[in-house]
Structure 1
């Protein structure tokens, strides 16, 4: 595998990064490539590695520090690598097509290019590229690195390069997964009246889900949309047996105004007729944090109106550390994980230019800069 050429700029670097397969659990090669490239192209950064997570920091003694992060892993590849160049069928604008272009190697490419370029930024910077984002939250490389090196994550503001179409998305919804179990009694299907069909019992539960209208909740001026959806159903014994167990896996996306405990209580009440409700994954949301001074300056510098982030992202982990955080990256989140994942070249260039301009802007009085 050829080494990464960070000096080629964020557009070409997007292609290079995407062409290194890095499905969750297989990030070693891309982490090696990122670490090696930083040692060559960014000698001004102190680089720390934790598993397949790379942390690179300036240590200039600035009054404020900004953390900028992105994950290295992708969902599985499905005949969509290597990347290719194409033109958008409607607008004719140049696109890069392939797995990871949106979620989120274009964002990582922007960060890597700026990490090498900005040796004298206006604020101290902590760049973070981490493994295991696209899987259960307890596997997160970011979470692991925070536990192992908490001192490296102190910051006044954080930016996560998740795809946001080049706009600023504040905070994020929380996410909960639960296994909801309905029980019955086995019997021969020729004498079904002798048993209790657990799958039929689950039918009422599924109807309840289909009728549910998700809440819209305003948090710190941004409107978040909630949702409760069945994402998997398990049940059945054999073609001639009345099933005695049916499990419906449910995903609840909840507004950041709710705590984890409130979200779990809501789901247990929603399915109060179930035989068992097991919470199997739970991650809190994050409030927008746009009232922080650095966040306000960032919004002003980018020049876009912030919106709410409906999905869960790792801004939640920064919020848990008391660090206000936003999502800002190239790519349309509606194309994340899609087989035709693709990112506009112009968005890569815009996000790089916006971040560069803001991070390089020195707001100190002239006498303080002298």
Structure 2
């Protein structure tokens, strides 16, 4: 809402105490667009979305240039799960006010998944249109994913854990986690690139250290659809073995998951803390705190489907799917998972992880999981 509209609404609200509002035709009795929008906002807060929609439509009829009313209408439609109508309203709000961060965020969140088209009056299709429709359905059936993420993964960022002075876990005979994760990521990148329909990027391509906070910044800059952080597990119990998949959550799903997250987060002591100015309020941060929970939920769904396919050809025992507060996953603006591919602390698995053939098997299993069995 620009300054001119805001001042107009303030004037109307003041006059509204006496039942008057200003229009282009002078003084008149009745409610203003601002009054209707405010009423719609209260109805949304009360979860009376259908009533809110009717009230907000009247607000827009009176003032079609109110980005606030269009944004509220988008919220009301979203409350009724009418995604197409919600996106249309949010887009109009952004068109009227390009600085409307909330509406932009809601458009991004809703359109992560396919949404139904707005209903339009039906008309008979021409023979050419019917043929085109049949061809379109055939193409969509060929391209549709077979589970997991409800949208196509076109960009993947692979994150080889640790690096440089941070060796990660070290096995009984000296095998370093950072070496294995980088080699696995390079093998994975090659296999994914060979598929031709997915672009693959790496957070590091050599033996150097990258702060945890910068790893997801890289993924966000690439606008990835999926972020995969690759690690090798370790445990004080030398008999612990197998692979597992993690996704981010505020609370760990088990004590073991909390232990793994604490180990992977330990490198934070080397990261330079970000200092905010006193009194500074980061609106983008507030919005992202809401948004990321949706990504975490989607990550959990994807992790379950991934593990189902991942374990089918894996050269190690599957330890299932778990969740914990991994710092490297927290800042990702897309679904993200963390893989623990074997235990370097287990002598048998350390010996296997040294073999190029086993690493190829792990890479193949990961690709199979990412592509949901289509590898």
TM-score when normalising by structure 1: 0.35
Answer with 1 or 2: which has the greater Rg. 2
Report which of the two has the higher share of strand: 1
Which structure's residues are more often helix, by fraction?
2
